[in-house]
Amino acid sequence: MALVLAKRCNAAAGHHKSARRVGLSAPMALLRPLQRTKAICGETRLALNADRPTASQIITMKKHYLTGIFDTDLKTFDVQVIQASHGNPVLVDFWADWCAPCIAIAPVLEKVIPSYNGKIMLARLEVDEGDNMKLAGHHKVRGFPTIMLFQNGEETARFSGSRPAPAIHHFIEQHTGLTPD
């Protein structure tokens, strides 16, 4: 699916509408449900189908995409993590709201990931929501938090427990070769 950008401009002869399709890279799969329309020379609005996320969900997705941090679940894991990891490495934080080390590592990860300027992404998966525990079982997660690194569609490394920022930077550099900007 491609974003369809439509532009309406006032012209001397009246209104005209032009549209062009824009291809998406793998990490942009997060924004696939979005259709952006430019109306009347620059006013932007979002056009959504009924089966698509709400506007506030899309705004949250865009915000997280820009920082490299987003929430995922059983339904979106394949696209948002596995497929997206073919473009950039993706860390997945398996966490639970009752888990003190999970709460401790969250702000550390939220500080570390943006320092890579989009070269690595962070997907947060709350295991107690819906059927997300099935993913934890599938990936043999035994404790929380567990941070898994996916590259080229496969898990390449993991660690469990809370760690300080320098240890997370070292983990990322060791397994991806990436350094913060």
Which residues are designated catalytic? 99, 102
CB 144 within 8 A of CB 95: yes
Q: Which of 85, 108, 104, 87 is nearest to 96 (CA)?
A: 104
In sequence order, what E strands does the chain have? 3-11, 14-22, 35-39, 43-47, 69-71, 90-95, 121-126, 146-151, 154-160
Give the three-state DSSP class for 85: helix
Preceding peptide of 145 cis, ω within 30°: yes
Helix (H) / strand (E) element for 136: namely helix 132-138
Q: Are strands 90-95 and 121-126 parallel, antiparallel or unpaired?
A: parallel
